[in-house]
């Protein structure tokens, strides 16, 4: 299983966004987590297609686009054309989740589904064969800097057990409150893709990435 850090540019310094992405690339980071928020599904509004299209021109990283928007099926093709390599939609935001996932796969990118802390794993368990990744939100979606919700650990474990039982090649991503205190918890529960915002971008980005990747490596060695 591949374990990866997925820095969330929601916490980046947008005055230095291109520069900070280059630092991530130099430090060997391969995934870039891009949160798109519409002010409807979640209260906040972030950025959209122009920003993704702009940074796509300068980066070869894997663009992991997380749509926190209502009826995301309206925008699948647009985000693929802007440079998304993977599109994550919320189970709670789709009128027809199965059809939306089909649209994503038909567009030629990886398909993923996300669930809020209050949504049970059972709501999406029947779709595990149709996705490349499940994102478990470990805070309420829409705001950065929140504290990890401990009750989500059990959901990660439950999902990992289902994936392993069915012998599926599905990643588990976690997003929210991931830091020095919670990284080992989520990895031991079964997550392998860790989204981090302020933990990466607050202070020295290069030093932060080295610290986090070393910690991921050490925990992985213990798990192996």
Which residues have a catalytic role annotated?
Answer: 35, 175
Consult the annotation and say whether 132 binds a ligand: no
Contact 18, 58 (CB under 8 A): yes
Consult the annotation and say whether 33 binds a ligand: yes
CA distance 67 to 35: 6
Query: Six-digit token pair at 104?
Result: 């994503």
Consult the annotation and say whether 8 binds a ligand: yes
Consult the annotation and say whether 175 binds a ligand: yes
Contacts 24+ apart (CB under 8 A), 48-56: 49/78, 49/79, 49/82, 52/79, 52/82, 52/83, 52/84, 53/82, 53/83, 55/17, 55/18, 55/21, 55/83, 56/82, 56/83
Consult the annotation and say whether 48 binds a ligand: no
CA distance 105 to 206: 34
Consult the annotation and say whether 177 binds a ligand: yes
Consult the annotation and say whether 35 binds a ligand: yes
CA 110 to chain centre: 12
Consult the annotation and say whether 203 binds a ligand: no
Consult the annotation and say whether 176 binds a ligand: yes
Q: Which residues are part of a known binding site?
A: 8, 33, 35, 66, 142-145, 175-177, 197-198
Q: Which residues are part of a known binding site for substrate?
A: 8, 66, 142-145, 175-177, 197-198
Q: Which residues are part of a known binding site for a divalent metal cation?
A: 33, 35, 66, 175
């Amino acid at each position: 299983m591949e374990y990866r850090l997925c820095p969330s540019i929601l916490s980046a310094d947008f005055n230095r966004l291109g520069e900070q992405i280059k630092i991530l690339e130099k430090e060997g980071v391969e995934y870039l987590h891009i949160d798109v928020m519409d002010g409807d599904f979640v209260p906040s509004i972030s950025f959209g297609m122009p920003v993704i299209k702009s940074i796509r021109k300068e980066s070869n990283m894997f663009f992991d686009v997380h749509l926190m928007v209502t009826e995301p099926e309206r925008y699948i093709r647009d985000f693929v054309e802007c440079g998304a390599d993977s599109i994550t939609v919320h189970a709670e935001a789709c009128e027809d989740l199965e059809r939306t996932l089909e649209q994503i796969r038909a567009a030629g990118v990886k398909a993923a589904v996300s669930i809020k802390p209050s949504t049970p794993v059972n709501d999406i368990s029947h779709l595990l064969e149709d996705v490349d990744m499940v994102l478990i939100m470990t805070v309420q979606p829409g705001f950065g800097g929140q504290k990890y919700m401990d009750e989500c650990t059990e959901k990660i474990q439950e999902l990992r057990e289902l994936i392993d039982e069915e012998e599926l090649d599905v990643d588990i991503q976690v997003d929210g409150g991931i830091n020095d205190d919670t990284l080992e918890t989520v990895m031991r529960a079964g997550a392998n893709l860790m989204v981090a915002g302020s933990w990466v971008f607050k202070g020295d980005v290069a030093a932060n990435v080295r610290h986090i990747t070393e910690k991921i490596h050490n925990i992985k060695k213990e798990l192996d």
